[in-house]
Structure 1
Amino acid sequence: MPTRPRALFAMTPGHVSRLFPPEVLDRVRRSVEIDPALVADDFADPRAREALARAEVLITGWGCPRLDEAVLDAAPELRAVLHAAGSVKGFTTPAVWERGIAVSSAASANALPVAEYTLAMVLLAGKDVFAQRDRYRARRAFPFGEIVPGVGNLGRRVGVIGASRIGRRLIELLRPFDLRVGLADPHVDEAAAAALGVPLLPLDDLLRTSDIVTVHAPQTPETHHLIGRRELALMPDGSVLLNTARGSLVDHAALVEELRGGRISAILDVTDPEPLPVDSPLFDLPNAFVTPHVAGSQGNELARLGHTVTEELERLLTGRELAHRIDPAELERTA
């Protein structure tokens, strides 16, 4: 019977059981020889170093150490890195690509809960739920007969910034609703936008014409403070900015200034810095709704990432094309 390839977990140790519950871990162990009790979070550790020297596959996750030349020199058999999380930018180096090591990511699986969170927030914001809750709390009385003008999701205009994995998944999820969805993305042409079923707009036009603007662009030098003072001023009165991408895409000083004026609102799952300082006005402004970076996979959703990596592992070992292989040429403009 052929010997199974050797693999090694490389991540923060506590994540393995969350990403790979027993039934998923059993599938992994049927494919490769791997010790779930040996999880590398430091490749200088002697046991990790010994396992690395024999590993053909690294199964990585949050907390994986950087794969630099020294680490790769110590892993002469390595042929694939399968990442049970989103971005691989934090731990891959040019040496990985130069050596022809295949890299796959579960980013598409992690895109779903972010898109679901965003969909929920779009619909709740359209009903003005957060302000309605605060008014109800203050009055302690039901506002019988009171109709709030401008509230509702019929025909509400939603502007999506970035046709990323999450942006595209969100567009799919928004399709059944009576919303008008537009897209801004400099890397998408009219034909690609038409295939997604949405009009393509310049960023300024999207900001001017959207009731809710949701940010899904990658974090790159070009997107730093993509939404700044000028861009916020373009948004209509009463509109909402929603950010589940990266905090640095929004100029928070400019946002706080705009929110203090009361003209727009914001829903933020990511901030800059992260976490926020304890005295940040974003905690107290009534038109800011802030959550602690929870849009991505949480709780039982983590098993979806492990399942995705397990399927990739099976494809790899049966000679099939990886479904989620990372193209290094596109890495700079992806999350």
Structure 2
Amino acid sequence: MGPGVAERLLDARHHTRLAALARTDSRLVAHDLAAPPPAVAAALADAEVLLTCWGAPPLTASVLAAAPRLRAVVHAAGSVKHHLTDACWERGIAVSSAAAANALPVAEYTLAAILMANKRVLHSAHRYRGLRTGHDWHRELAGAGNYRRTVGVIGASRIGRRVVELLRPFALDVLLYDPYLDAAEAARLGVRPVPLAALCAGSDVVTVHAPQLPATRHLLGARELALMPDGATLVNTARGSLVDAAALLPELVSGRLSAVLDVTEPALPPPDSPLYELPNVLLTPHIAGSMGTELHRLADSALDELARYAGGLPFADPVRPEHLGRSA
């Protein structure tokens, strides 16, 4: 994993458990497998499982040649596309991911964003700061609230499904767009499947949870954004590339739409971007995913998988190569 990641991911409890499971030095972290230092090279030659996380170096054919006993990779994060190569799948290496664990904080952030958007919290806070006097808020916020509002979820991904689950206790109508979702699965999820255009036109809040793929670039463009009702809110915790930034900005500057953006394109907006100052935009620096104490959930998930492997059991959350073409 990348420099500094292990220190944030693993606490003393994890090191104790890892050492017991692996019977090895749990503090040996490899940042470079193409030209590893002697201690890493020796460990790699004997390794049966690799525990990886963000910043993991690519597992190329030459790296695998130096790891003849390698049988599995347990990834303590979401996507494995950044470090797994075709050579891994050709070798038949078993792979597990903590994507399900990482989906939880993203879904929780999204739930909070949806409830606050319908309550018009951003608008109220900005107005309150400016007025600083008594005001008829019931009149101004007559259309606000979360009762019988409609939320459109784009993508029946792990995160999208978790968002749907978290929305169940609320009196909200949920629309879902996913080209791979059939009617039976939509019924099981308790959502109404609709085309993307219908979702945009019929939702008070649109939240994006599709994977970043060539086919999903600018999934929400000028047409889709124009279909969203006046006063609607766009929530994006997926990837900035899924929304056409050039089409979104005029909608936000005009005040017709609001947005909660945890991801943007570019990833860091330029210093003079209006996104930093617009009162109808909540801009956060890609914090919806696991951070702080939530990293320990990823570690717990990964070590649970390692324990399953050590016990001769299949992974609870395997990654299958045939699914990579339509996953994050």
Provide Cα deviations, 1:299-318, integer angstroms capped at 9, x if missing partner.
11100000001110011111
Structure 1 runs (4+) deviating above 4 angstroms are none
User: Any conservation in 1 of the 2:151–2:204 contact (CA below 8 Å)?
Assistant: yes
In 2, Cα distance between the equivalents of 1:278 and 1:51? 45
Give the alignment partner of residue 78 of structure 1, picking from 47, 64, 70.
70
Q: Normalization by structure 2: what TM-score?
A: 0.97
Please give the per-residue CA displacement for 1:147-203, whole angstroms capped at 9, x wherever unaligned.
312100001100000000000001000000011111000010110100101110011
- 8 A contact 1:136–1:142 mirrored in 2: no
How far did residue 145 of structure 1 move?
Answer: 5.5
Q: Which residue of 1 aligns with 2:168?
A: 175
CA distance in 2, matches of 1:329, 1:34: 33
1:140 aligns with 2:120: no
Match of 1:158 in 2: 151
SS at match of 1:40: coil
Please give the alpha-carbon distance, in whole angstroms, between the structure 2 residues aligned to 1:209 and 1:252: 22
For structure 2, list consecutive stretches of 5 or more residues without a partner in the other structure: none
Q: Counterpart of 2:12 in structure 1: which amino acid?
A: P
Q: Does 1:291 align with 2:248?
A: no
The residue number in structure 1 matching 2:16 is: 26
Matched, 1:45 2:25: no
Paired residues for 1:1-335 under 5 Å: 11-43=1-33, 44-46=35-37, 47-144=39-136, 146-147=138-139, 148-335=141-328
Q: Distance in 1 between matches of 2:57 and 2:23?
A: 21
CA distance in 2, matches of 1:117, 1:34: 37
In 2, Cα distance between equivalents of 1:71 and 1:162: 35
Tell whether the 8 Å contact from 1:245 to 1:270 is kept in structure 2 after alignment.
yes
* Preserved CA contact (<8 Å) 1:183 1:199: yes
Equivalents in 2 of 1:316, 1:259: separation in Å?
Answer: 49
How far apart are 1:254 and its partner, in Å? 0.6
Give, in whole Å, the separation in 1 of the partners of 2:40 and 2:214: 35
Distance 1:80 1:214, change over 3 A: same
**Alpha-carbon spacing, 1:312–1:145, altered in 2? closer, same or farther (3 Å):** closer
Provide the rounded CA distance (Å) in 2 between the counterparts of 1:213 and 1:154.
Answer: 16
* 2:192 counterpart SS class: coil
Per-residue deviation, residues 34-83 of structure 1 (Å, max 9, x unmatched): 32332111111223222111111100001100111111111111001000
Letter in 2 for 1:296: G
Deviation at 1:25, TM superposition (A): 2.1
Higher alpha-carbon deviation: 13-22 or 156-165:
13-22
Q: Which amino acid aligns with 2:112?
A: A
**What is the identity, as a one-letter code, of the residue corresponding to 1:185?**
D
Q: Distance in 1 between matches of 2:200 and 2:60?
A: 41
Cα distance in 1 for partners of 2:298, 2:137 equals 47
Q: Secondary structure of the equivalent of 1:326?
A: coil
Q: Distance in 2 between matches of 1:175 and 1:304?
A: 24
What is the RMSD of the two structures over their aligned residues, measured on CA atoms?
1.1
Distance in 1, matches of 2:137 and 2:150, equals: 26
- Give the structure 2 partner of residue 8 of structure 1: none
| 1:201 alignment partner AA | V
Write the distance in 2 (CA, Å) between the matches of 1:99 and 1:275: 38
The alpha carbon displacement at 1:287 in A equals 1.7
